[in-house]
Structure 1
Amino acid sequence: MSVTMRSKSGDDGDDSVNLMASVNRSNNGRRPDTSVCWIGAAAVSLGFLLQILILGVVAHNSWAIRHQDSKCENMSYSLIIDRDKLRDERDQLKIQSRNLTEEMELLQSQYNAMAASRDKLQEEVNRLKLSKTDEPCSQGWTSFKSKCYYFSGKGQAETWENSRKSCKERGADLVIITTQEELDFVSSIFPVTWIGLSDKEMEGRWKWVDGADLLGDEFWQIGEPNNNENEEHCAEVSRSAKKFNDVPCNRKFSWACED
């Protein structure tokens, strides 16, 4: 009987030991790990921060896109205004160009009409000149190179003014010499002859009786005109020199008229 009891008592002790070990193992399995908790918390925080960063980037990009769209709209509006202004300027230039073209055509037409009228008048002048040269000079006049000349009578002599008066009474004026041939012809008649040249209106400005200025000085004698004693304001030609010479206008010489 006693052996059996010990055996049972021994079994109960083993069970107690096994139960305590099981309890201890159970308690060890439920103990929390602090490093795992920190990693989880950090992951949650990073995820939250990442979401905030993403939202910030999205918001910034949205604002930038809206700002860029507004800027593009303003630029587009400005370009449209500039385009319209350029179109208006182009249209104005077209109108001005068309008006200028019309004015140019009108001026060209007027010029053509005036040119035609000028040519017609020139033909009439040429015809009159031709008819004049065909007609002989009046009695007492001498013909030379299609012109008619009147020379004072032999032994007649007058001042420059009276000589011119005599020419005007015949519907002419003192001779105007334009060529060397004409100078040789006029100067060959008398020893000294008055011609229609003077600087009576302005000293040093020699003018012909028709108001034209004397061009060039090739017909003057060497050293002339010299206005000796400030009294030489009229021109004469001599047979010997066959050149112009200034002398006092009150001297008396023969004269030559030109029709």
Structure 2
Amino acid sequence: MSVAFHGKSGDPEGDGWNLMASENRSSYGWLSRRSVCWIGAAVVCFGLLLLTMILVANNTSAINQWDMKYNNLVHEITKSRDNLSQDRDQLKIHYSNLTQEMGMLLNKYNAMVISRDMLQKEVNRLNLNKTEKSCFQGWKKFNNKCYYVSPAGVTKTWSDSRRDCQARGADLVIITTIAELNFVKKSYGVTWTGLSLNKATNTWKWVDGTELADDGFWQEGEPNNMSGDEDCVEVSRDASALNDVPCSRKFSWICED
């Protein structure tokens, strides 16, 4: 310690007193500064502790909020998953029901196809029977038509021959093809046909009212009305063609159904 003396040596009231006072002052000043340091350090520590607690509290609150949001999110996701699972199960049930219905409809469709095919076969059979015309006993069949040929040796006028056919539910034959003409001429030497002259229109007409098409199947030079009343038509075996003759003549005849 450095001491400065400003008085004489041995002066009890001089620097000796001052030295004591100086030491006492130095001791008390050092103690005061140390206390301040400890107090400051304590304040700083307390501040840091408080700051740490605030930060921890804030972080804890934030974590709690995040946990709540997370839990809510997990809950919503879980709920959505469960709903989707229920929807999936319902779709599975619906799909299974649709599959069963489709199977039933397929069976019904197959049954309908079988029934349709059977009906079609029956229709074809009926149509075949319908096209295959059946003829009464004693009648002849040609090209799916039925013909009644008058008895051998029996002859009638054109009008009487027609009345006989009509009584049988038919009429005198209408010749529309060469094949039919050849069929008719085979029966007898001369045979009445259903062709006659309509004097009102001066046209040759069949018994069904249709006119003779084109030139018909006339013999060469016919019709010539040679006798003046040749209004009915016959077909002869030798000529193989039509010829006009008087209606009062008597020949065999053929009816067509």
TM-score by length of 1: 0.50
Report which of the two has the higher share of helix. 1
Give the structure with higher Rg (CA): 2
Q: Return the TM-score normalized by structure 2.
A: 0.50
